[in-house]
Structure 1
Amino acid sequence: MVTLLLRATGLIVLACIGGIAWVSRELPTVAYLGKENPEQTSYMRRAIAAGRLDPTARLAWTPLKAISQGTVCGLVKSEDAIFFQHDGFNYRQTWMALQGQMQGKQVGHSTITMQLARNLFLGPEQTFDRKLREVLLTRYLERELTKPRLLELYLNVMELGPKVWGVAQASQYYFQKTPAELDAFEGTFFGAIAPAPLQPLAGSNRERARRKQAQVLWRLYVSGVISPAQYQAAQSRHLAVFQALNAGASLREALDRPVPTDAPLPSLPHRIVSGELPGERMVDEACGYAAELKHWMRRDVPKF
């Protein structure tokens, strides 16, 4: 019996190794992305094939340095807080996701690099083959490209609305601005809608987005990415926008509505850092992750 079990296990291992070797031969190369900007994503090509997108649609490209700090770090803290520390995978989050599935809950665990692999080359299918390809492509991307380049690619290919891909298109679509002009509220708004960019901000999705953006604004402030004045201005607009949405306003009406001049300024949370991170050090300092981690370790975190 033991002998049969060992043989069966060996056959399964060999089959898995053979499957990985076979899939590896079929995967696209990724090294060219170090210098070349893609024109379309896999999801865009699927939309074109389904007749939902004009075949001439292309990504509008913006260099990382031309995107506001609140947008860059806001999306990192929203989508993948340890992006600068991991090798492509957040193993703790993956374990939490597996535990959640066993309890009938859906817990996200995809890193920015994993999402990039899926957006550029794959699709939404929940199959073993697609997930294996995603894992292998993630490893290739992390091996061939730098973290800043991976982040630049992600910010330019992520879906952020109906027929809206990348922060350049999203900046125009929602705020009629360039990515460099986005303030802290506008930059973190993208992180709030990124998990469900095609769903209306209503019901449970609106509440999820509200909590997510409030949390990310707090994280930007305590880690020194934004100043006290920027935090209070962003929080004031955040409160005004979601109050308008709760009252039945459309998203466009809520975003265009000015903050009441008599609205009291939100209180400032405690933070460990004494000032703001210089822009040129933002990526090198992992968007202030070390300072933020001290809060998490102390459990000095408010409820949102």
Structure 2
Amino acid sequence: MPSRRLLKKGLLVLVGLLVALAAAGTAAHVWLQGEGARAQVVGRFLPALEARVGPVRLGNTFRVGWTGTVTLGPLELPGSQPEGPPVVSIAQVTVHPRLRALLSGRVEASQVVLSDVTVDAGPSGSELQALLERMRAPRSAPSPTPARATARVWPELVLEDVHLAFERHGRVRWGPLSARVRLENPDGTLRMEATARLPGGGSATMTMKSTDSGMTGTLQGRDIPAGPLLSLGEPPVDLEGGVMEGAVTLEGSGAASFSLAVKGLSLSNPRLAPEPVGPLTFSAEGRLRGQWARRTVALESLRVTVGERREVQVDVTGEASWSEPPRFSLSAELSPLTFAQAVAALPPALVPEDIDLAQQEGELQASLALSGPLFERRDWQLKAKLELPRKKGHAQKGPLAWLRGPFDYRPLTAEGRGQALRIGPNSPTFVPFEEFPPYLVRAVLRSEDGGFWTHQGFDFDSLRTLLLDPRDGKVRGGSTLTQQLAKNLFLSREKTYARKVKEALLTLALESAVPKQRLLELYFNIIEWGPNLYGIGAAASHYFDKPAYALSVREAAFLATIIPNPVRYHGYCTQGALSDVWARNVDTLLGKLLADGALTEPEYQQSLAERLAFACTVDARTRSVEAPSAE
């Protein structure tokens, strides 16, 4: 009985206590819902926020839950104009109190939740940039900032349903993502931990810590959809599919290491290829160091690989200086690479279809150095070196061995491949290299490819002009004689970057497998010299009614000048004379041959005085070809 009376009294005390707490909570809740409480909370919240980000706009939403949770909103941070559209819009800010602190009579936040957040960067990111500059501007804090040595735990920050909006051929809205951020300095050292879930899947984690030498920590992402994320940088191609992972590690003292791996990415653009190019797999890892006092950043190492097995490897180093004017330098070196490795590393859309280049023997190496004033592209200096495998005697092995003997060639036309022609001694129009007049060879090489005998398939001086002085962004120019031969033998006329990659691979294979003299012989015997007119033998007969070995110096120079567009310039033949402009073009080429020592002064003077006697007739082949206008 005494125990039952004791229990009853205890229950009465407990009930009384709960009633008292409920009454106090109800009174507190009613007070907190009042205008006075709102004024106190907002009065503390807004000045602290404005001290960090500048002017803000806060809506009328204000609610307090039974546990002391405070909900505010909507909250807007304007960009360049205080009354203009917001850069950051937050539909709702929810502050959860720290319960232990409440029991001790203190009001502290344990968590702040930002819901339905939109960051609108504005045209070219201008509005976001304005907000960031305002945040960097010095401001007076509303209250003293805690000293570094003062231990402190900040509330956890939770971001829900975050979207990024920007302009890219119309308005793009990317998201949603969610994140959690923890910030503390329990021992006077600032530490931050953050996790995020990205749109479409994937995650990111970040840990940071302040040290005497600066911030250290790691940002790491895993299983991130590559196409959507990389598309935010507005690349010149559409990116689809793929998965990426990467990491950045801050090591203090301005040093950082990084890595990135992308697998299964597809690229689409009509200028790249008619169909999507992929899957593409590549990676990059390296280390850089910034010396901010000297305003320099050094890329100490960077290794870029292509292919699932990292078949292609390029090592890069460089430096950039923000002195006046800003300058940079980059050096890249391609590790020894076999044709099989190159073919395995590239997507099928970048590899020639009708020839198995993986069977081509040997390794190639290359290096490149680029430097100059950062914003003066025309003044950049480019140096490149290419080393190709060359076996003594060019033994007849590999996928291109057939080019050293007779074969049937189907000319490349606007409609596709034409009727087969025999390239070899048993063809009546074939001209062997030994029968080429020396001045014909010199005229064509001077006009089309002056470095043919010394380069390895690519004229880097022409490539430098193409890279550093682009005019209209078209895929054009810089083609050597070997590149033209590769296109005529194996490719179509489509003007895409994919075709250029195929052309480059074929050029390397041709230079590796076929002697220079044979390349030149093939070039003269298969290129187009007029409408449905292929080979120098047919051209000499058609234009001047003579064999190729009997061509005069001026006749050879004329034929060299029409190679870029022989169908159009064939009109000079049908009309029986050159225009004044084109006659000067031929004279200019003759002057270059004289300067090069390919002509003597008497030969030069004789060729200047010569009048071309064309033998063309307007037949079924030429009737539809109009005479060219003055150039």
TM-score range, shorter chain: 0.5 to 0.7
Q: 1:225 matched to which residue of 2? A: 598
For normalisation by structure 1, the TM-score amounts to: 0.66
Which of 346, 366, 388 pairs up with 1:20? Answer: 346
Contact 1:193 1:209 in 2 (8 A): no
Bigger strand fraction: 2
1:51-70 equivalences under 5 Å are: 55=419, 57-59=421-423, 60-70=429-439
Question: Is this contact kept in 2: 1:27–1:137, CA < 8 A?
Answer: no
Matches within 5 A, 1:187-266: 187-200=556-569, 209-237=582-610, 240=611
**What does residue 165 of structure 1 align with?**
534
Provide closer, same or farther for how the CA distance between residues 232 and 19 of structure 1 changes in structure 2, counting only shifts above 3 A. Answer: same
Q: 8 Å contact 2:432–2:521 — kept in the other structure?
A: yes
Structure-1 separation of matches of 2:511 and 2:402: 13
**Cα distance per residue 1:151-207 (max 9 Å; x no partner):** 1111111111011111101000101111110111111111110001111457xx967
Distance 2:587 2:547 in 1: 23
Structure with the greater alpha carbon radius of gyration: 2
User: Residues 209 and 86 (structure 1 numbering): CA distance in 2 closer, same or farther, change over 3 Å?
Assistant: farther
Offset, 1:211: 4.9
Distance across 1 between alignment mates of 2:410 and 2:488 = 6
1:91 paired to 2:342: no
Residue in 1 aligned with 2:261?
A: 10
Cα 1:14–1:127, aligned 2, differ >3 Å: closer, same or farther?
same
Paired with 1:252 and 1:25, the residues of 2 have a C-alpha distance of 38
Where relative contact order (Cα < 8 A, 6+ residues apart) is larger, the structure is 1
2:471 and 2:414 map into 1 onto residues whose CA distance is: 34
**Matched residue, 1:130:** 499
Residue by residue over 1:211-242, the C-alpha shift from the partner in whole angstroms, topping out at 9 and shown as x without a partner, is: 543232122222222222221121223xx55x
1:192, 1:210 within 8 Å by CA — same for their partners in 2?
no
Question: Partners of 1:97 and 1:168 in 2: how far apart?
Answer: 33
| Matched residue, 1:31 | 401
Alpha-carbon displacement from aligned partner over 1:80-115 (angstroms, at most 9, x marks no partner): 001111110012212212344345688621000000
Question: Which whole-Å CA distance do the structure 2 matches of 1:102 and 1:112 have between them?
Answer: 23
Q: For the structure 1 residues 31 and 99, does the alpha-carbon distance in structure 2 shift closer, same or farther, using more than 3 Å as the test? A: same
Q: Are residue 77 (structure 1) and residue 446 (structure 2) matched?
A: yes
Would the alpha carbon gap of residues 208 and 133 (structure 1) be closer, same or farther in structure 2, given more than 3 Å must change?
Answer: farther
Structure 2 CA distance, aligned partners of 1:132 and 1:105?
15
Q: 1:45 and 1:108, CA in 2 relative to 1: closer, same or farther beyond 3 A?
A: closer
Partner SS, residue 529 of structure 2? strand
Distance 1:137 1:42, change over 3 A: farther
Change (3 A) 1:3 1:141: farther
The residue correspondences of 1:170-189 to structure 2 (distance < 5 A) are 170-189=539-558
Q: Does structure 2 retain, via aligned residues, the 8 Å contact 1:74–1:220?
A: yes
Residues 3 and 85 (structure 1 numbering): CA distance in 2 closer, same or farther, change over 3 Å?
Answer: farther
CA distance, structure 2, for counterparts of residue 235 and residue 226 of structure 1:
12
Aligned length, in residue pairs: 236
CA contact (8 A) 2:352 2:502 kept: no
Q: Is the 8 A contact 2:410 2:420 kept in 1?
A: no
In terms of mean alpha carbon deviation, does 226-235 or 63-72 score higher? 226-235
- Given that 2:536 and 2:548 are in contact with CA atoms closer than 8 Å, whether structure 1 keeps it comes out as yes
Quote how far apart the aligned CAs of 1:145 are: 1.1
Distance 1:210 1:110, change over 3 A: farther
Structure with more helix by fraction? 1
Identity %: 28
Comparing 12-21 and 65-74, the one that deviates more: 12-21
Q: Deviations over 1:22-69 (max 9, x none)?
A: 4557352322212x13332440595566xxxxx465453111111111
Aligned with 1:26: secondary structure? coil
SS at match of 2:568: coil
Pair 31,3 (structure 1): closer, same or farther in 2 beyond 3 Å: farther
Structure 2 unaligned spans of 5+ = 1-203, 205-218, 222-229, 231-243, 247-259, 266-279, 283-305, 308-343, 356-398, 424-428, 573-577, 618-631
SS in 2 for 1:87: coil
Task: Give the Å deviation of 1:127.
Answer: 1.9
Query: Partner letter of residue 133 of structure 1?
Result: K
- The 8 Å contact of residues 97 and 108 in structure 1, kept in 2 or not, is answered as yes
Q: CA deviation at 1:19?
A: 5.7
Q: What RMSD in Å do the two structures reach over aligned CA positions?
A: 3.4
Describe the SS at the equivalent of 2:602. helix
- Report the equivalent of 1:271: none
Specify the code of the residue in structure 2 equivalent to 1:20.
L
Pairwise CA distance, 1:118: 0.4
Q: Distance in 2 between matches of 1:224 and 1:41?
A: 37
Q: Using structure 2 for the length normalisation, give the TM-score.
A: 0.34
